[in-house]
Structure 1
Amino acid sequence: MKKKLIFITEALWIGGIETALVNLLNRLDYDRYNVTCLILRDCQEMAYRITPKCRLIVSDRQHAVTFREGYRYKRMYNLMEEPQHASKLRRLIWRILRFLLRAPEARRYAAYVKKQLGGEHFDTAVIYSDRAAETAVRAVSADRFLMFYHHGAMRKEYHDELGYRQAEKVIAVSEALAEKLKAYRPCYAGKIIAVNNLIDVSGVQTKSMAMPEIVFPKDCFNIVSCGRLAPAKGMDLAIAACAKLVQDGLADIHWWIVGGGPEEASLRAQLRALRMDRYVTLLGMQDNPYPYIRQADLYVQPSRFEGHCVTVLEARLLAVPILATQNAAKEQLEDGKTGRLCKLDAASIADAAAELYRTPDLRQALREALRRHDFEHDNALILQKLYALL
């Protein structure tokens, strides 16, 4: 008899965590498992990528999607929505309302999901986003729970104690992240293990050959960075590094940034202040970023925090020379052999990028080393670890 699995996550918007989940769902052995994916917001940008063998359930507070019955307490939830550009008094009222309403609303929402699931029982429930942990634990009936942890930051990220307590294993997506999490949550250290993210080898390679909307100029040294426009991804450092490169005389460069997010306005202001509009282009969120990565002379990941960076993994697969901060990819790159690592500041990023700009032989050596790597062998080992847990 097939085992019944359910994966619970916040949403399927475009992002690294969501890409990793889609890759995992598509690689599972559906002869062994009946698989359900439950998302808690009607954000389905990546849903079309999931195999139809996986049942998708969408449980949104604002309106009914999969379930016939709507959520009765959405007004309570909406009262907790963070106000934008509000006065200090309005923000104080919001904080008080959030403090008073968060716990009772979360219990009501979990009860709603549990009722809609109709008592269905699963062998294993996998909490893929820790932000979905409370709902998963309260709403899903399962013999055992597993929980993934993806974030490089510790203090700045959400940690759900209910999820930690209920999970049989907490799966960090890299060895370094597992050690950081053990130090930050020592009472759960015995549960914490490391399993890397999978990569869709054929999918990334095929999608990278699509014709991009923008073809990079051949007379430029084209640098690409991908990631959510948020502080953790360090795109402000990329812009500052580009400014230093231009100031140091490298005028034939162009830096392309793929992604969207809350920092877009401040990054555009930074571009204007540094007069970098000619040298940096924000390409926005791209459903298929791989043609841009493939065109790059250099891929740069300037992140302040990462767990196991999916875009670095994808750039490695496409055999593009990679420069990353040590915070972004220390485990994923061997400095000088499969990529370059640098310190977490704009000057270090610029200096390392300039070195790679001036040494085409090094870039070619990095490309050749990456082409020799067997990513499907990595996937097989990762799946073996996951099957032992499921």
Structure 2
Amino acid sequence: MKKKILFVIPNLAVGGAEKSLVNLLNELNYAQYEVHLFMMAKTGLFISHLPKEVIILPESSAYQIFSKRFPIALMTFLLQGNFKLFLNKIRFTFFNRTIKNPILAEQKNWQFLRYFFDSFPQKYDVAIGYLEKNANYIVADCVQADKKIGYIHTDYKTMGMFPIYDRRVFKKLDFVITISEGCLQTLKNIFPPFENKFQLIQNISSKKTITELAAAPIKEKLIRLSILSVGRLTALKNFDLAIDTATLLVDRGYDFEWNIIGEGDERQYLEKHIASKKLTGIVKLLGLKENPYPYIANSLLYVQPSKFEGKSIAIDEAKILQKPIVTTNFPTVFDQITHGETGLISEMNPTALADEIEKLFVDENLRNKFAVNLSKENWGTELEVEKFYQLIES
């Protein structure tokens, strides 16, 4: 009989964890496993990339109402006579407005949000929360399963999460998977009692798939000095640093373009920042691209200006495509890049980042050195799925 596995994730919008889940689901053996997927909101570009074998569960009807505008949600719960949800919607909204830290708000507000998710009707062999916070909380509190697994896709300390809210959850989980050595060590340092629960399984990246997709044509004509960055348009991805760096490169006389693939709530701010620096037509926000790989393949450089990452899937993909890489020195980057051998690691300021980019603009031998070094390794991580099998079968 097939084992039943449940995955939980907030949505499948374009992001590293979401792409990692889709890659994993495309590697699973469906002769052995019946896989169910629950999304808090059934949205996101990556839904179309799910394998046909995955059974997508319906959304929570209570959470759908909760997600509507405040007065509509309250009126609906009142008309239903559901005073518990009515009150918890008010409590959630009040606390969200009084807590300025969004990380703390998401962790703390689970005490109210929990009531908008019914217990799942069937029991699973394995239930997996595929993202920190709410996905893990749903698995811990709302799912019956013989084995419960959580994921932390980021550096817990650098992200500024609050351990008091996760200790209770980690007690309920059999394992907590994270994606890099740096993230693993951080978890062990913060949660010593759960040290044996923490497991390292890297994000799944298929070299064969990425290489094939990279051969597709693109409509944009990229100039010779073309930089690419990929990521959500959020403060953590630090694209305002990219804009300030681009200003310095223009001042140094370089004719280049810096394309950014991604979407997010900082778009308007970044557009204004680009205009204020007179970089319109130089720094370009290309929006979401279902297939970003031809843009990576056809660019001269890949640049990751992030404040922090758990383990950047985009960097792994650029390595697979043998692109010269410049990245900021967020703590976990040293698990991915060896400075001077497989890329350049910069201090997190515009002058330092411009200096490292300039080295690769002018030095073709250095670019070739990185490409050759990257070509010697198999950066695909398909074999990580074997670690996943071992964990769910243990």
Instruction: Sort the TM-score into its range (normalised by shorter chain).
Output: 0.7 to 0.9
Q: Within 5 Å, which residues of 2 pair with 1:161-172?
A: 161-172=167-178
Indicate the residue corresponding to 2:366 in structure 1. 362
Shift of 1:190: 3.0
Shift of 1:103: 5.4
SS of structure 2 residue aligned to 1:41: coil
Q: Within 5 Å, which residues of 2 pair with 1:213-224?
A: 213-217=219-223, 220-224=224-228
Indicate the residue corresponding to 1:48 in structure 2. 48
Distance 1:21 1:92, change over 3 A: closer
Indicate the residue corresponding to 1:299 in structure 2. 302
Shift of 1:172: 1.1
Shift of 1:104: 6.0
Q: State how far apart, in whole Å, the 1-side matches of 2:146 and 2:386 are.
A: 21
SS of structure 2 residue aligned to 1:323: strand
Shift of 1:312: 0.6
Distance 1:331 1:360, change over 3 A: same
Indicate the residue corresponding to 2:114 in structure 1. 107
Shift of 1:231: 1.3
Residue 49 (structure 2) pairs with residue 57 (structure 1): no
Distance 1:124 1:164, change over 3 A: same
CA contact (8 A) 1:173 1:196 kept: yes
Indicate the residue corresponding to 2:387 in structure 1. 385
Q: Which amino acid aligns with 2:50?
A: I
Distance 1:93 1:367, change over 3 A: closer
Shift of 1:375: 3.4
**CA deviation digits over 1:31-69, x for unaligned, max 9?**
2222111111121421111111121114142269xxxxx
CA contact (8 A) 1:151 1:157 kept: no
Q: Which amino acid aligns with 2:147?
A: R
SS of structure 2 residue aligned to 1:163: helix
Indicate the residue corresponding to 2:375 in structure 1. 371
Show structure 2 runs of 5+ residues with no match.
Answer: 67-75
TM superposition score normalised by structure 2: 0.85
Q: Within 5 Å, which residues of 2 pair with 1:61-100?
A: 61-62=63-64, 79=90, 91-92=97-98
SS of structure 2 residue aligned to 1:129: coil
Shift of 1:240: 0.9
Return 7-16 or 198-207, whichever deviates more: 198-207
Q: State how far apart, in whole Å, the 2-side matches of 1:171 and 1:299 are.
A: 28
Shift of 1:208: 1.9
Q: Which amino acid aligns with 2:15?
A: G
Please report the RMSD computed on the Cα atoms of aligned residues, expressed in angstroms: 2.8
Residue 284 (structure 2) pairs with residue 287 (structure 1): no
TM superposition score normalised by structure 1: 0.86
CA contact (8 A) 1:134 1:162 kept: no
CA contact (8 A) 2:233 2:264 kept: yes
Which among 126, 130, 138 is matched to residue 128 of structure 2?
A: 126
Indicate the residue corresponding to 1:184 in structure 2. 190
Q: Which amino acid aligns with 2:366?
A: L
CA contact (8 A) 2:233 2:239 kept: yes
CA contact (8 A) 2:296 2:318 kept: yes
Shift of 1:102: 4.3
